Amino acid sequence: MTYTTPVTIHTIGHGRHAFADFLALLGDYDINFVCDVRSAARSRWPQYNGRVLQAALGENRIGYEWLPECGGKVVAPPRELARGLERILELASETRVALMCSESRPLTKHTQPRANCHRVGLLGPPLRARGARLIHILPDARALEIDETEIPSIW
């Protein structure tokens, strides 16, 4: 489904950020809903384990939903992935959304950058094809907009 009114979707990786720093990045972009697009909602950094993250975001009036069908470690069958993409678009049409996984940098630093994260390589092209604008939030609070279809990717 292509949306007639373009939606903007931000992406962010939690990386090794302290939760306060991660929260500040979300605040810099007025994000009020996080779609957790990890295959498993867990991290070696305890503040990013699903239930802990959901509670901490909730305390800061930011919504949270885990969409494992949009994860990159275990790629879902096409119908399930499509359902997850539609859920993201539905949410983004109602509120300011950020897709979150663990990779803080969406691209590698190679001479010709490659997708460092499935937010770029797996989710970016079909979301863009459905009419979405993607803005990738970087660890230093800058933003990156690229054509994800032109970035080499393993996905």
What are 33-57's pLDDT values in tens digits? 999 999 999 999 999 999 999 999 9
φ, ψ at 138 (rounded to 5°): -95, 160
- Per the domain annotation, does 20 fall within a domain? no
Q: Can you give the residue range of the structural domain that contains 103?
A: 28-148
Q: What percent of the chain has pLDDT over 70?
A: 97
What are 90-101's pLDDT values in tens digits? 999 999 999 999
- Whether residue 1 has pLDDT greater than 60: no
Exposure class string for 125-155: b at 16+ Cβ within 10 A, else e: bebbebebebebbebeeeeeebebeebebee
Q: Which two tokens stand for residue 36?
A: 């957790």
State pTM to two decimals.
0.93
- Per the domain annotation, does 73 fall within a domain? yes
Domain count, the chain: 1
